[in-house]
């Protein structure tokens, strides 16, 4: 069967560098999500359909022009197209004006030197809060590299499949996908038994209408959201904050208990000396409402060897 295809272009709010932003997906299972040769691709569920979205930047960082190709084995309705567009906008925060962030942190001597070298970088987020919560649970006390392998295995084992020209792609599993699975099967992707239980319990609560993660996005008080998430089994403050940052676009939330974040802050502000959570939060006050986003600018800068 020949796939159905729709192609269109959009202009994100500049600046936007697809290469800086999507390079984190340059390795891993290409049938889940990838960035190869300047093309980002991922499967999305849109309404009752599934589409493979391919994204390329035909413009510049200052004047980005994104070409989006949608592929499906079913006709792509106009509503599917709009839903896919919204999904891409959410993942890459395409409506975010980074110039506001840059201006707000320009008085910080480190940020003033880092941001021009990472001009157009956007911290990638998840399509749903549930995906962010699952990722954060998976990442507890293990490396990001190992956690990403586990997350990809979850998609391959439990996510919906989309076959395009004899190649199979996988979407991230929905709460129902995981609530209908056995805990032992969830554990089988490389999770500990406890983590598998935490993920299963969260999925089951959502399916049973006992937990509404999307509704939490509307709560203005970050402390209230952290408290609600912290009340879930297996979710502490770090997991809650990371979930909010990636799943709710809460750029003001800093997962300061994260070792990688503290290490990056220490490298640029404390000459590499180990710092505690409270010290990291104190330093981050200079970044105002952009604490979470600024922290990941530091992590990317550290990985790329940017000196100040």
pLDDT by position in tens, the chain (length 308) = 568 999 999 999 999 999 999 999 999 999 999 999 999 999 999 998 999 999 999 999 999 999 999 999 999 999 999 999 999 999 999 999 999 999 999 999 999 999 999 999 999 999 999 999 999 999 999 988 999 999 999 999 999 999 998 999 999 999 999 999 999 999 999 999 999 999 999 999 999 999 999 899 999 999 999 999 999 999 999 999 999 999 999 999 999 999 999 999 999 999 999 999 999 999 999 999 999 999 999 999 999 999 99
- The answer to whether residues 292 and 205 belong to one domain is no
- The answer to whether residues 77 and 155 belong to one domain is no
Give the C-alpha separation, 91 to 154, whole Å: 19
Q: pLDDT per residue over 97-153, tens digit each?
A: 999 999 999 999 999 999 999 999 999 999 999 999 999 999 999 988 999 999 999
**b/e sequence 146-166, b meaning 16+ C-beta within 10 Å:** ebbbbbbbbbbbbbeebebee
Residue finishing a domain among 79, 95, 111? 95
Token output for 6: 């729709």
Measure Cα distances from 63 to 7, 10, 57, 93, 169 in Å.
Answer: 20, 11, 10, 16, 31
Question: Count of CB atoms within 10 A of residue 56's CB?
Answer: 16
Tell me if 103 is assigned to some domain: no
- pLDDT for res 48: 86
In DSSP notation, 181-233 reads S-HHHHHTTT--HHHHHHHHHHHHHHHTTS--HHHHTT---HHHHHHHHHTST
- The answer to whether residues 139 and 167 belong to one domain is yes
- pLDDT for res 216: 95
CATH code at position 213: 1.10.340.30
Tell me if 119 is assigned to some domain: no
Give the domain range for residue 236. Answer: 129-248
Entry pTM: 0.95
Token output for 95: 């409506």
CATH code at position 74: 3.30.310
Tell me if 143 is assigned to some domain: yes
Tell me if 79 is assigned to some domain: yes
Give the C-alpha separation, 26 to 33, whole Å: 9
- pLDDT for res 2: 65
Burial class (CB within 10 angstroms; exposed 0-12, middle 13-18, buried 19+) of 24: middle
- The answer to whether residues 296 and 196 belong to one domain is no
- The answer to whether residues 74 and 168 belong to one domain is no
What's the total number of domains in the chain? 3
Give the C-alpha separation, 302 to 213, whole Å: 32
Give the C-alpha separation, 25 to 215, whole Å: 29
- The answer to whether residues 235 and 264 belong to one domain is no
- pLDDT for res 228: 96
């Amino acid at each position: 069967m020949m796939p159905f295809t729709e192609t269109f272009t959009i202009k994100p709010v500049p600046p936007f560098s697809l290469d800086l932003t999507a390079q984190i997906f340059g390795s891993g299972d290409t049938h889940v999500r990838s960035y190869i040769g300047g093309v980002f691709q991922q499967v999305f569920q849109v309404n009752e359909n599934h589409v493979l979205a391919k994204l390329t930047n035909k413009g510049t960082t200052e004047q980005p022009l994104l070409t989006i190709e949608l592929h499906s084995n079913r006709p792509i309705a106009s509503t599917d197209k709009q839903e896919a567009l919204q999904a891409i906008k959410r993942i890459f925060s395409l409506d975010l004006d980074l110039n506001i962030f840059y201006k707000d942190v320009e008085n910080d001597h480190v940020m003033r030197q880092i941001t021009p070298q990472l001009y157009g970088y956007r911290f990638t987020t998840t399509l749903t809060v549930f995906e962010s919560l699952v990722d954060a649970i998976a990442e507890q006390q293990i490396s990001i590299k190992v956690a990403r392998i586990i997350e990809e295995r979850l998609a391959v084992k439990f996510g919906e499949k989309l076959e395009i020209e004899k190649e199979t792609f996988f979407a991230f599993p929905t709460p129902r996908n995981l609530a209908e699975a056995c805990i032992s099967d969830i554990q089988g992707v490389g999770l500990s038994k406890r983590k598998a239980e935490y993920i299963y319990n969260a999925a089951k609560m959502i399916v049973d209408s006992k937990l509404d993660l999307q509704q939490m996005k509307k709560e203005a008080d970050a402390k209230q959201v952290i408290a609600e998430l912290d009340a879930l089994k297996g979710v502490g403050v770090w997991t809650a904050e990371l979930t909010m940052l990636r799943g709710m676009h809460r750029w003001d939330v800093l997962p300061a208990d994260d070792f990688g974040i503290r290490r990056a802050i220490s490298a640029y502000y404390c000459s590499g000396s180990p710092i505690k959570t409270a010290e990291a939060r104190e330093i981050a006050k200079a970044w105002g409402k952009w604490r979470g986003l600024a922290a990941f600018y530091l992590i990317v800068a550290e990985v790329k060897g940017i000196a100040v």
